[in-house]
């Protein structure tokens, strides 16, 4: 709002129908609503998406922009990078205090941020329950299909130690983002059958973030089911840190996949031979995959590829 310069512009906001919304008019959120209402429509969508994170969560800026990209929230001219547009949208929201508590790099770039509780509540309000975060602790499983989640499109699960994967997640229809945040839960509870059912019912996914942040590679080996090929709309897949020995050839049917993150998959021995079919792949993040002996020949056919962190060449 600080960018408004003329009396006419202020008057237009004051006369807005938004003032007539009783819940906002009588609450403490009306200044936020006015600032939000003045945002470009695409930036509004980017902000409301942030309700997918739990309160007091450290949001990684680059991952947030990747998620925006996966949902198609960013628009750019032909010669303009979507990442640049994402940086611009992030800057707009930060300048209006929708983002706070920044963590910066040595060269003063923002790498993480938080959203305060009141702003988070407001994001939930404007997202109209499309974005939701759920915390699972112990053996009792919350039901992801219960009201008010009938409109649920974007879900983040924070799974605590000793908890199992909530099977009810498999029954959420038309989900476009599934983010699983845990380094402590028993990944064996997400066994082949459950993961297969999850993928079978989640064919609308644009973003699937299934990373393991501790990178210990201990215990359960995760097997990616062949029916991952049903996720035909998927643009972002994050498997970093998982104990995976092999990626199925079926993964190469994900023609819309733009970013694959397998960083820290120490046990991964090879990439799918048909990887050249991923014609829209732009970023293959494969740092710390030392067990991969060579890159498939098809890698050379990835004409859209802009990021390849490590290249493996066979000694034969």
pLDDT score, position 22: 54
In this model, does residue 132 exceed pLDDT 80?
yes
81 vs 68: CA distance, rounded Å: 13
59-63, 185-189, 287-291: range with lowest mean pLDDT: 185-189
pLDDT of residue 20: 41
Q: Among 56-65, 97-106, 158-167, 264-273, name the one with the lowest average pLDDT.
A: 158-167
Confidence of residue 31 (pLDDT cuts 50, 70, 90): confident
* Letter string b/e over residues 245-262, b meaning 16 or more CB atoms within 10 A of that residue's CB: eebeebbbbbebbbbbbb
Residue of 168 and 214 predicted with greater confidence: 168
pLDDT for 77 equals 66
Contact in structure between 136 and 159 (CB atoms under 8 Å): yes
What band does 185 get if pLDDT is binned at 50, 70 and 90?
low
Distance CA 1, CA 16 (A): 14
Task: pLDDT band for 316, please (50, 70, 90 cuts).
Answer: very low
């Amino acid at each position: 709002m600080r960018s408004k310069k003329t009396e006419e512009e202020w008057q237009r906001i004051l006369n807005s129908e938004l003032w007539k919304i009783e819940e906002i008019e009588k609450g403490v959120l009306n200044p936020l609503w006015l600032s939000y209402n003045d945002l470009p429509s695409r930036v509004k969508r980017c902000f409301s998406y942030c309700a997918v994170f739990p309160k007091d969560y450290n949001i990684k800026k680059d991952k947030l922009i990747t998620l925006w990209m996966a949902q198609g929230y960013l628009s750019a001219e032909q010669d303009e990078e979507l990442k640049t547009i994402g940086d611009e949208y992030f800057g707009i929201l930060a300048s209006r205090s929708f983002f706070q508590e920044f963590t910066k790099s040595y060269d003063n770039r923002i790498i993480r941020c938080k959203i305060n509780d009141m702003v988070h509540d407001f994001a939930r309000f404007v997202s109209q329950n499309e974005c939701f975060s759920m915390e699972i602790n112990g053996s009792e499983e919350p039901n992801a299909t219960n009201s008010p989640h009938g409109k649920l499109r974007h879900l983040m699960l924070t799974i605590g130690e000793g908890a199992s994967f909530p099977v009810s997640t498999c029954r959420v229809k038309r989900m476009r983002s599934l983010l699983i945040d845990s380094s402590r839960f028993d990944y064996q509870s997400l066994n082949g059958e459950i993961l297969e059912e999850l993928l079978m019912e989640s064919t609308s996914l644009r973003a699937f973030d299934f990373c393991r942040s501790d990178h210990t590679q201990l215990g359960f080996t995760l097997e990616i089911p062949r029916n991952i090929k049903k996720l035909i709309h998927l643009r972002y897949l994050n498997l970093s840190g998982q104990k995976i020995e092999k990626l199925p050839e079926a993964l190469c049917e994900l023609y819309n996949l733009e970013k694959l993150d397998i960083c820290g998959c120490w046990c991964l021995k090879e990439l799918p031979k048909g990887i050249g079919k991923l014609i829209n792949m732009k970023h293959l993040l494969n740092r710390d995959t030392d067990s991969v002996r060579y890159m498939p020949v098809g890698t050379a056919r990835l004409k859209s590829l802009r990021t390849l962190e490590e290249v493996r060449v066979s000694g034969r």
